[in-house]
């Protein structure tokens, strides 16, 4: 099926306003189906969940648990393996704290050079507990170098945590192969799915022990995210938060925790978030993840062509659009910098040969092309690439080729 992004756009009320939104890697826009589902929940079903036995509360609990089941089905997992969290960041931080008790001084964690701060800082935190963090190198095009990855495994590497898709390079990592190597090494394998679950067909497999992703990047509301964990591992992990509704029984001497996932959801959960995320999953399923992937690849093909043909652009990541997900990060060389910054607020310093990415983004923004600039929460990666940040165009099911063309045209207007 060819995707009709024009009719899809009609489902997104925000596009009444006239702009080109190329920042879906930061957060996606929301269709009215998601907004309505949240409204319907509050208008007809709201009560606290898992606590009370009157009918309204039972209905609310049922809706909350149905949402969990829908999210679980979406990735091929079981309901009890899905813990609702705030976002990917919270899920990865939870793991860092919960897994601390399983790690010892001298143990090692292997991640890659391309990680987002959310899959970097929680592991670096453990260095103060005597655990060493190692980095798999990248090849020239920004793929994880599998030979280097393999050579860095070893008996001390107890945990491997990798992003599935890089939010800077767009690289789709071969997590099947990398996960297999991690498991052969008997390491816990964690996947940061923040940029993949919204964009690619995905099924959980046996090599993945934990997976984190965010609802707001996949058409759902902000404030809801998911930690998937293999049930046996979740059973074995201590809760990070303590409080209401996560215990079977408490006395002043003894606590008996609930089973997962409830044991990890202390306090009143984000029920509206779960409902909204479930509606987002329904929306994505209706369009079809294969269709979304191929639509984004078409836009990616065009973006790469345009980047290649613009002599002022230096872009990062694989040159083959099939190896990438729906984004491109780049810098723009300047022909006439002084003229460009006249009238712009940020007037950031020019770094070497490039126009500062904030200046480019502000210029584009003035033309209603909305794109991210800066480090994209991956500062070490940009330093590794030898550049001081970049501009990122990231697209989704509601964007079309014309918008990509228009965005690159606007870049051309900078270098006149
Ligand atoms: C690869 C990657 N990991 C983690 C995150 C963090 O996501 P959140 O801010 O929703 O926690 C992001 C967000 O941009 C990301 O791109």
Pairing type for strands 188-192 and 390-394 reads unpaired
Known active-site residue 377: yes
- Ligand 1 centre to CA of 71 (Å) is 18
Q: Identify which of 265, 196, 193, 214 has the alpha carbon closest to the alpha carbon of residue 87.
A: 214
- The ligand 1 site (C-beta within 6 Å) comprises 87-89, 116, 118-119, 163, 167, 192, 194-195, 214, 377
Q: Which fold has domain 5-24+288-414?
A: 3.90.1150
pLDDT for 177 = 97
- Ligand 1 centre to CA of 98 (Å) is 20
pLDDT for 345 = 72
- Ligand 1 centre to CA of 10 (Å) is 27
pTM of this structure: 0.95
What are 303's two structure tokens? 């973006």
Of all helices (H) and strands (E), which one includes residue 370? strand 369-374
- Please state the domain extents for the chain: 5-24+288-414, 33-286
Q: Identify which of 302, 360, 317 has the alpha carbon closest to the alpha carbon of residue 143.
A: 317
What are 275's two structure tokens? 């409902």
Tens-place pLDDT, residues 223-243: 999 999 999 999 999 999 999
User: Could you tell me where the DSSP H helices lie in 113-238?
Assistant: 121-124, 146-152, 175-184, 231-236
Residue identifier of the C-alpha nearest atom 16 of ligand 1: 167
Q: Identify which of 312, 316, 406, 308 has the alpha carbon closest to the alpha carbon of residue 364.
A: 406
Residue identifier of the C-alpha nearest atom 12 of ligand 1: 194
Specify whether the CB–CB gap between 172 and 323 falls below 8 A: yes
Reading the chain (416 residues) residue by residue, the pLDDT tens digits are: 568 888 999 999 999 999 999 999 999 999 999 999 999 999 999 999 998 999 999 999 999 999 999 999 999 999 999 999 999 999 999 999 999 999 999 999 999 999 999 999 999 999 999 999 999 999 999 999 999 999 999 999 999 999 999 999 999 999 999 999 999 999 999 999 999 999 999 999 999 999 999 999 999 999 999 999 999 999 999 999 999 889 999 999 999 999 999 999 999 999 999 999 999 999 999 999 999 999 999 999 999 999 999 989 999 999 999 999 999 999 998 776 667 667 777 666 555 578 889 999 999 999 999 999 999 999 999 999 989 899 999 999 999 999 999 999 999 888 75
Burial annotation 247-279 (CB, 10 A radius, 16+ → b, else e): beeeeeeeeebbebbbbbbbeebbbbbbbbbbb
Specify whether the CB–CB gap between 108 and 131 falls below 8 A: yes
- Ligand 1 centre to CA of 327 (Å) is 14
Identify which of 162, 195, 280 to mutate to test ligand 1's pocket (most ligand atoms within 8 A of the CB).
195
In 3-state terms, the chain is what percent helix, strand and coil (to 5)? 45, 20, 40
The 3-state DSSP class for residue 82 equals: strand
Catalytic residue among 328, 377, 397, 407: 377
The 3-state DSSP class for residue 264 equals: helix
pLDDT for 338 = 67
CATH for the 33-286 domain, from 3.30.930.10, 3.30.2140.20, 1.10.3720.10, 3.40.640.10: 3.40.640.10
Specify whether the CB–CB gap between 358 and 371 falls below 8 A: no
């Amino acid at each position: 099926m060819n995707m009709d992004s024009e009719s899809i756009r009609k489902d997104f009320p925000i596009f009444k306003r006239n702009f080109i939104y190329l920042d879906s890697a930061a957060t996606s826009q929301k269709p009215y189906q998601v907004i309505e589902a949240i409204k319907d929940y509050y208008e007809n079903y709201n009560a606290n969940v898992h606590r009370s036995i009157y009918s309204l509360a039972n209905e609310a609990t049922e809706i909350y648990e149905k949402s969990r089941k829908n999210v679980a089905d979406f990735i091929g997992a079981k309901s009890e393996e899905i813990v609702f969290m705030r976002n990917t960041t919270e899920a990865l931080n939870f793991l860092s704290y919960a897994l601390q008790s399983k790690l010892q001084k001298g143990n090692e964690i292997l991640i890659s050079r391309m990680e987002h701060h959310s899959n970097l800082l929680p592991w670096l935190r453990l260095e103060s507990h005597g655990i060493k963090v190692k980095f798999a190198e990248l090849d020239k095009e920004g793929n994880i170098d599998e030979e280097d990855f393999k050579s860095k495994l070893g008996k001390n590497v107890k945990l491997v945590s990798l992003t599935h898709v890089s939010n800077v390079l767009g690289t789709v990592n071969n997590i099947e192969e990398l996960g297999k190597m991690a498991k052969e090494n008997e390491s816990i394998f964690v996947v940061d799915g923040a940029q993949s679950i919204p964009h690619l067909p995905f099924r959980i497999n046996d090599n993945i022990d934990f997976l984190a992703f965010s609802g707001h990047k996949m058409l759902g509301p902000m404030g809801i995210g998911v930690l998937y964990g293999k049930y046996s591992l979740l059973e074995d992990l201590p809760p990070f938060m303590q409080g209401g509704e996560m215990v079977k029984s408490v006395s002043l001497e003894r606590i008996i925790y609930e089973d997962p996932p409830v044991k990890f959801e202390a306090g009143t959960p984000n029920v509206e978030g779960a409902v909204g995320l479930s509606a987002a999953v329904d929306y994505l399923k209706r369009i079809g993840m294969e269709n979304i992937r191929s639509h984004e690849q078409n836009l990616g093909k065009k973006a790469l062509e345009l980047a290649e043909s613009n002599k002022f652009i230096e872009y990062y990541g694989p040159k083959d659009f099939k190896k990438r997900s729906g984004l491109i990060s780049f810098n723009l060389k300047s022909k006439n910098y002084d003229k460009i910054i006249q009238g712009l607020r940020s007037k950031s310093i020019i770094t070497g040969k490039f126009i500062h990415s904030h200046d480019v983004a502000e210029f584009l923004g003035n033309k209603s092309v909305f794109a991210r600039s800066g480090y994209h929460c991956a500062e070490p990666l940009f330093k590794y690439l030898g550049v001081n940040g970049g501009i990122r165009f990231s697209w989704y099911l509601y964007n079309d080729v014309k918008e990509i063309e228009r965005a690159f045209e606007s870049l051309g207007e900078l270098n006149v």
